Amino acid sequence: MIAVRDGRARERSDGLAAEEPLEIRAAGPGQEPVRVAVTMRTPGHDFELAVGFLVTEGLLAPGGVAAVAYCEEPDAQRYNVVTVRSRTPFDLGAAERNFFTSSSCGICGKAALEAVAVRCPRVVDDATADPETLLELPGALRAGQRIFERTGGLHAAALFDTSGRLLLLREDVGRHNAVDKVVGAFALDDADGGGGILLISGRLSFEIVQKAAVARVPIVCALSAPSSLAVQAARALGVTAVGFLRRGGFNIYAHPERVIA
């Protein structure tokens, strides 16, 4: 690349974050795998990403994974196709309905909220976190972003317990993928994020709140701003939503009782 600094151009090398497509397929016992989605992601933790995506879209229960594997077809890009096999029959019709109602193309916020509420019960969790604990989380997130330090091109999602102890951190070119990798890691262990704090780099979107609610995470924090629909979803789904979490403070947009007594 050519780096321009102080009016001078210089050729130099640079580390870039990898980005490749991942096709996610799913099948139940005796079923042929079907393509559910294709997402652009940073390679790594692909099984977690595939499982987490299916779980947070309401298509697979955390304990419902029978097997996960890369594609064995000779003409396929093997490591860019992952098949998740569930313990029970996979409902492709449910997948099609979920993607239609959660699409941002012509679907109003009310319809999106109603669709999520149908497949995701309200989060009822007595977990609480001290304000001082939340203020320590951005530093822990940044310290764990090893690839970001080299490339500057990745988002991160991390799950902490309410005392501020880091449980798991994942990086990806997409915020949604980073969250799915975290959820998928716990789902593969037949667990969820109940009682924890999810912190994401960047802004807090409707989809992130949805994924957190499905994973039963009661507190979601972001380094940047939430969207209006994210706040509506958090209020409706019982998720504590925190934005602009930085060294000097933060804003609480939904369910402050978990942070402020």
Which residue numbers are catalytic? 105
DSSP string, 11-58: E--------EEEEEEEE-TTPPPEEEEEEEE-SSSHHHHHHHHHHHTT
CA distances from 104 to 56, 110, 116, 169, 206 (A): 17, 12, 14, 28, 10
Q: At 184, give phi and psi (nearest 5°).
A: -65, -35
CA distances from 43 to 80, 94, 181 (A): 8, 27, 11
Gap between the Cα atoms of 224 and 235, Å rounded: 18
Residue 198 in tokens = 């999810």
Q: What is the DSSP letter of 80?
A: G
Report the helix count and the strand count for the chain, using DSSP H and E. 8, 12
Question: In Å, how far from its chain's centre is CA 250?
Answer: 21
Gap between the Cα atoms of 252 and 227, Å rounded: 13
Gap between the Cα atoms of 85 and 24, Å rounded: 11
